[in-house]
Amino acid sequence: MEDLHNSHEGVEVSLEHLKVLTDTVGIIQHALYGIPRRYTGYTTDDNARALIALARYSSVCPSKEIESLSSIYLSFLYDAQEKTGWFRNLMNYDKTWVDPEGEDEDSLGRAFWALAEVQISALPESQKAAARHMSACARPVLSNLSSPRATALALLGCVATTESSMNLVTSLAARLYEWYQAASSDDWRWFESYLTYCNARLPHAMFAAYRSTGDERFLQVAQSTTSFLTEITFSDGVLQPIGNEHWFVKGAQRASYDQQPVDAAASTELYIQAYGATGDAKYLELAHHAYSWYLGENVHQLPVADPRRGSCYDAINREGVNLNQGAEACTTFLMATLALNRP
């Protein structure tokens, strides 16, 4: 474990590909190999992930360039937010919204988390103030979330700042606890009857809630679901995320492809959070194995990311890798790298 741990310490962070994908509006959603496919437009999800990465990087290596980029992503979120507090998600390249009246739960949760990361970052106070303003607008609608994944994302935002009330943290975590109680069984220790994408964000949020509240119920669920997810997604020490071909429905066969970088990032951050909550070194080892998925410790033994450019391929498929390098892959790779090297 020590050699693996050392190999990831102080990994240099490159924003080269992030800048390639970013224009004055935001980060462009998809790429053809290494160039942006402008016609695919932008998403709140990708701009929120980019903002999380830049907020974290500002604490490690503050610079005017980071402030400039983060301002673009923060401005995108401001434009995306409706007066109701919800966030639209899909914008065309011509700056028109595809879902002008949408209530996308995942986008709300992810944007709220990004705004929290800004508030605890080393970004300028003007950006923090804007983030606080948008968070205050979004906070009242968090109680309307019906998706476990969106609830987990919002919970991660709540525990990140001292401005969120403990009642809201407890309420969101209790909702996840109740979903777990309703869906779990001896052979299926999970919050829902299926596993799809970013599964690790759910136990990640429960560990965070335990660290915030000290509620042992949240720790018990976090450990149980983490153990279950680890059993399913690791084989001989190698991370194999649930594929998006048909996901994994309880009682059916799990999909092995396409494996997504977003899941490697979520897994890395889960185990880091688990280590912080418990001090158990096995979680730190798992975090480094999950991160190594990007570097060739995967089912095909092929590198998925290029740390020198900060770029990442879109997926591992049956044949090898999907050579396109879009925003989700790029931003989540940066998030994982910065989480692993966070002071």
Tokens 């065309």 correspond to 92
Convert the pLDDT of each residue in 308-338 to its tens digit.
999 999 999 999 999 999 999 999 999 999 9
Residues 109, 302: Cα–Cα separation, whole Å: 33
Residue 8 pLDDT class (50, 70, 90 cuts): low
Please state, rounded to an integer, the average pLDDT across all residues of the chain.
Answer: 94
Residue 2 pLDDT class (50, 70, 90 cuts): very low
Domain coverage including residue 260: 2-340
% of residues, the chain, pLDDT over 90: 91
Mean pLDDT of 268-297: 97
Residue 48 pLDDT class (50, 70, 90 cuts): very high
Q: What residues form DSSP beta bridges with 305?
A: 312
Q: What residues form DSSP beta bridges with 36?
A: 31
The amino acid that residue 111 corresponds to is: A
Number of domains in the chain: 1
Tokens found for residue 66: 């980071």
With 90 as the cut, is the pLDDT of residue 101 above it?
no
Tokens found for residue 310: 């900060």
Residue 10 pLDDT class (50, 70, 90 cuts): low
Convert the pLDDT of each residue in 226-261 to its tens digit.
999 999 999 999 999 999 999 999 999 999 999 999
Residue 103 pLDDT class (50, 70, 90 cuts): confident
Q: What is the pTM of this model?
A: 0.95
Length of the chain (residues) = 343
Mean pLDDT of 63-84: 97
Contact, 27 vs 47, CB < 8 A? yes
* Long-range own/partner contacts, residues 89-96 (CB < 8 A, 24 or more apart): 89/43, 89/44, 89/45, 90/41, 90/42, 90/43, 90/44, 91/25, 91/26, 91/41, 91/42, 91/43, 92/41, 93/28, 93/38, 93/39, 93/40, 93/41, 93/42, 95/25
The amino acid that residue 271 corresponds to is: Y
% of residues, the chain, pLDDT over 70: 96
pLDDT value for 341? 83
Instruction: Look up the CATH number of the domain holding residue 186.
Output: 1.50.10.10
Convert the pLDDT of each residue in 209-218 to its tens digit.
999 999 999 9
Convert the pLDDT of each residue in 183-219 to its tens digit.
999 999 999 999 999 999 999 999 999 999 999 999 9
CA angle, corner 53, sides to 245 and 257, nearest 5?
10
pLDDT value for 126? 98
